[in-house]
Amino acid sequence: MAAVSDAQQAALGALIAQPSRAGEAAATSHPQIELARRHGMPLLQAAGWPRDSRWRAVLRELCDAVNARADTPDAVREVCTRVRDWESAHLEEQADLLLAANTDAVHAEAAPFIMAALQVYWVFLLTSLPMDLLGDLAAERDQAAHAVVSSVCPACGTLPVASVVRADQGYRYLHCALCATEWHMVRIKCSHCLTTEGIQYHFVEGGSEAVRAESCAHCRTYRKVLYQEKDAAVEPVADDLASLALDLLMTEEGYRRASGNPLLWQPLGV
């Protein structure tokens, strides 16, 4: 997964560095963005968004980068080779299933690579939007005291993978599993059903103090909370993936994940 992440960064940099395409996403999607703003919906709604071929090109780049490493296990190399050779229609079908969080007919081995490519694509879409548009969106959310707190990403409508408590002011932010957008949510509140009762925190004894699981007695779900004051380098997707022992502990306690990690595809609750 570290190799995939390195390849993601390289692919994103290559996309952003193409000046002829830098504003293409914003220009072509402007009517949909205006419609989303009028109805208070995520700007770049993942489910149903008209993707172009660039995300599939990124997927091929990620697979090639992983296959090029000498330490890549044979089983992983086989998956990458197979995914790289899939027809475009099949890849689009798999992407639709993953973005809709539909576990039916998903190729679990291929899913992390497909999601990794979609992550790059959606971050690129966001960086292609005008800064004043993003600034207006942030200002509208900050000034709307009556706004309903949402547990889905305001940019793409995807569920968060985890939350992070920033060291500077102690605010908690949910972290989108797809586009890496972060949005504020008060602490000691279930990020799934939004209740403030029955919230508990769990950790692995002797493990990292920077990673805990926030559980809810009402809906019996949990998401991890990462504390920057304990580790300044915490990263929601990576550290959620690196703390699977905590997931096993929560499963034994009868809780299920409120949403999965994009780089470890599995049915929720498993």
Half-sphere exposure of 21 (CA within 13 A, CB side): 13
What does each C-alpha distance from 48 to 29, 94, 144, 157, 158 come to in angstroms? 13, 13, 27, 11, 12
Instruction: Give every residue of the chain whose pLDDT is below 50, as ranges.
Output: 22-23, 26-28, 144-148, 268-270
Whether the Cβ atoms of residue 202 and residue 213 lie closer than 8 Å to each other: yes
Phi then psi for 215, rounded to 5 degrees? -105, 155
Which amino acid would we find at residue 261? Answer: N
Q: Within 10 A of 196 (CB to CB), how many other CB atoms are there?
A: 12
Distance CA 45, CA 32 (A): 9
pTM > 0.75: yes
Find, among 156, 161, 192, the residue nearest to 175 by Cα: 161
Q: Rounded to 5, what percent of the chain is helix, strand, coil?
A: 40, 15, 45
What is residue 268's predicted lDDT score, i.e. its pLDDT? 45
Share of the chain above pLDDT 70, in %: 84
What is residue 236's predicted lDDT score, i.e. its pLDDT? 94
What is residue 109's predicted lDDT score, i.e. its pLDDT? 92
Q: Which residues contact 24 (CB under 8 A, 6 or more apart)?
A: 128
What is residue 190's predicted lDDT score, i.e. its pLDDT? 95
What does each C-alpha distance from 243 to 75, 163, 189, 239, 246 come to in angstroms? 23, 14, 22, 6, 6
Given the structure tokens 């942030």, which residue do they identify?
138
Kindly report, residue by residue over 51-102, the tens digit of the pLDDT.
Answer: 999 999 999 999 999 999 999 999 999 999 999 999 999 999 999 999 988 7
Tell how far CA 26 is from the center of its chain.
21
Which amino acid would we find at residue 218? Answer: H
CATH among 3.90.1670.10, 1.10.1040.10, 3.40.50.2300, 3.90.330.10 for 148-257? 3.90.1670.10
> What stretch(es) of the chain map to CATH 3.90.1670.10?
148-257
Half-sphere exposure of 233 (CA within 13 A, CB side): 2
Kindly report, residue by residue over 257-270, the tens digit of the pLDDT.
Answer: 999 999 887 654 43
Whether the Cβ atoms of residue 190 and residue 221 lie closer than 8 Å to each other: yes
What is residue 265's predicted lDDT score, i.e. its pLDDT? 73
